[in-house]
Amino acid sequence: MNRADRIECVLRRMAAERIDTLVALSNAKHHLARVNLAAHLMGYRAFGESALVLRADGTERLVVTPAYDAERAALRRPEMPLTASDDLAAALAELLRQRATGRIATTGLSALPHDLAIRLLDIVGKDALPFDNTVNAVTAPKTDEEIANARKAVAIAERTHEHMLAVARAGMRECDLAVEMNLYAKGLGANDNFLMLSGGPHQYGVGASSNRPLERGDVIIAESTPAYDGQFGQICRTASVGPPSNVLAEKYGLLVRAMTAGIEVIRPGVEVSDVAGAIDAVMTDAGYEKYNRPPYLNRRGHGMGTGSIAPGDIAIDNHTILEKDMVFVVHPNQYLPETGYLLCGEPVRVTATGFESLSKKWAELSAVEA
């Protein structure tokens, strides 16, 4: 699928609902786990609030703020007519006045700052149809460009993890290690990196890095999520400070087997709940059924933005049907009483017959200098 295919899917749904104009709005917050359908349709991450105006005849116009984003937008999407302004509402009002609009639909209106949303609601009219769910449903698969960017993001994550193993050592503060990893990822081309990293002998979860020095016997857990050209990719990894104990090695091997069981059921037509269920089954068979739910874990993975985050959380109560070219991470991250919280996760793409692993090397327990 390319961007033109995606727009054609949306146009078909617009025709079915007799919509003349779709105004897809972006709040400029490009987040790993939040939907930004405007960015998804544009293929562009604007600096400020922005919009894509899509007409039923297939004509498009990109509206960006602030005005100085014009040059960047024109370079990134040279094929699209462009309006750059310091006032998104005023620019949209002028565009909609220039041509009779008929029925209007919107996406992203509720995510905008309140004052701007009120102004825009006056412009598009209170009868404008919220189209978020419809657009999200028909654009869940990633485009070829987004998939390529996801592969690059994951490659950056893997190289950043290798760098962490080379530089981390006992006595180094968690926060200093996190800064080192973020700088390294950006040096490889990441435009962002959502990193969670912490260390300790027995952790109850992963969170923000502290100024605590790493110690021999600690377990470092790291969730590294770089973005490349706006598309996130994530890996989850665990390393010991000094040689790992036999118990840690055994329990981490269990998590890897659980993750593998979940990934191996992935193919088009399978429910997300089946993926989570396969992971849970391995943990239950090992005697950890109690730990297959909160507060011991949050979810078994999730979709990755910045556009659609389909298929959503990899959870036992998510009955979304997997489609070709959905991209998400499978991670059986959870707390185990013998070891504390451990991280293990791989990003995948749904193929026509199964899955593609976006990472070259799957998670294994590593060690850093004590």
For residues 212 and 128, membership in a common domain is answered with no
Q: What is the C-alpha to C-alpha distance for residues 315 and 280, in angstroms, rounded to an integer?
A: 10
The model's confidence at residue 83, banded by pLDDT at 50, 70 and 90, is very high
Q: What is the C-alpha to C-alpha distance for residues 251 and 98, in angstroms, rounded to an integer?
A: 64
Type of residue at 71? E
| Residue 166, number of CB atoms within 10 A of its CB | 10
Could you say which of 107, 138, 169 is where a domain stops?
Answer: 138
- The per-residue pLDDT for 203 is 96
- The per-residue pLDDT for 1 is 79
Position 100 pLDDT exceeds 80: no
Q: What is the C-alpha to C-alpha distance for residues 302 and 32, in angstroms, rounded to an integer?
A: 10
For residues 87 and 224, membership in a common domain is answered with no
We report the CATH number of the domain holding residue 213 as 3.90.230.10
For residues 308 and 340, membership in a common domain is answered with yes
Structural domains counted in the chain: 2
- The per-residue pLDDT for 272 is 98
Average pLDDT value for residue range 24-45: 85
Given the structure tokens 């990293």, which residue do they identify? Answer: 197
For residues 124 and 154, membership in a common domain is answered with no
Before 130, cis peptide (omega within 30)?
Answer: no
Could you say which of 138, 173, 202 is where a domain stops?
Answer: 138
For residues 163 and 290, membership in a common domain is answered with yes
Position 4 pLDDT exceeds 80: yes
- The per-residue pLDDT for 286 is 98
For residues 73 and 173, membership in a common domain is answered with no
- The per-residue pLDDT for 53 is 96
Q: What percent of the chain has pLDDT over 70?
A: 99
The model's confidence at residue 316, banded by pLDDT at 50, 70 and 90, is very high
- The per-residue pLDDT for 308 is 74
Reading the block at residue 230, the tokens are 């706006």
Q: In the chain, where does DSSP find H-type helix? A: 3-16, 37-42, 70-76, 88-97, 114-124, 132-138, 144-167, 174-187, 246-263, 272-285
Q: What is the C-alpha to C-alpha distance for residues 230 and 221, in angstroms, rounded to an integer?
A: 25
Average pLDDT value for residue range 184-192: 95
Position 48 pLDDT exceeds 80: yes
3-state secondary structure of 25: strand
* Region of poorest pLDDT, from 63-77, 128-142, 278-292: 128-142
Average pLDDT value for residue range 257-273: 98
Position 368 pLDDT exceeds 90: yes
Count how many Cα atoms sit within 13 Å of the Cα of residue 226 in the half-sphere of its side chain: 27
For residues 117 and 201, membership in a common domain is answered with no
Position 240 pLDDT exceeds 90: yes
Tens-place pLDDT, residues 276-298: 999 999 999 999 999 999 999 98
We report the CATH number of the domain holding residue 79 as 3.40.350.10
Q: What is the C-alpha to C-alpha distance for residues 168 and 183, in angstroms, rounded to an integer?
A: 14
For residues 198 and 345, membership in a common domain is answered with yes
For residues 213 and 109, membership in a common domain is answered with no
Reading the block at residue 279, the tokens are 């992971």
- Quote the mean pLDDT of the chain: 94
Tens-place pLDDT, residues 192-201: 899 999 999 9
For residues 125 and 173, membership in a common domain is answered with no
- The per-residue pLDDT for 305 is 73
Which domain does 340 fall in, by range?
144-368
The model's confidence at residue 326, banded by pLDDT at 50, 70 and 90, is very high
For residues 46 and 149, membership in a common domain is answered with no
Position 101 pLDDT exceeds 80: no
Position 3 pLDDT exceeds 90: no
- The per-residue pLDDT for 163 is 97
Position 134 pLDDT exceeds 80: yes
- The per-residue pLDDT for 323 is 96
- The per-residue pLDDT for 45 is 84
For residues 216 and 291, membership in a common domain is answered with yes
- The per-residue pLDDT for 192 is 87
Tens-place pLDDT, residues 140-176: 899 999 999 999 999 999 999 999 999 999 999 999 9
Position 304 pLDDT exceeds 90: no
Cβ within 8 Å of residue 99, ≥6 positions away: none
Given the structure tokens 């089954």, which residue do they identify? Answer: 281
Nearest-CA neighbor of 14 among 119, 102, 117?
102
Could you say which of 111, 138, 165 is where a domain stops?
Answer: 138
Position 314 pLDDT exceeds 80: yes
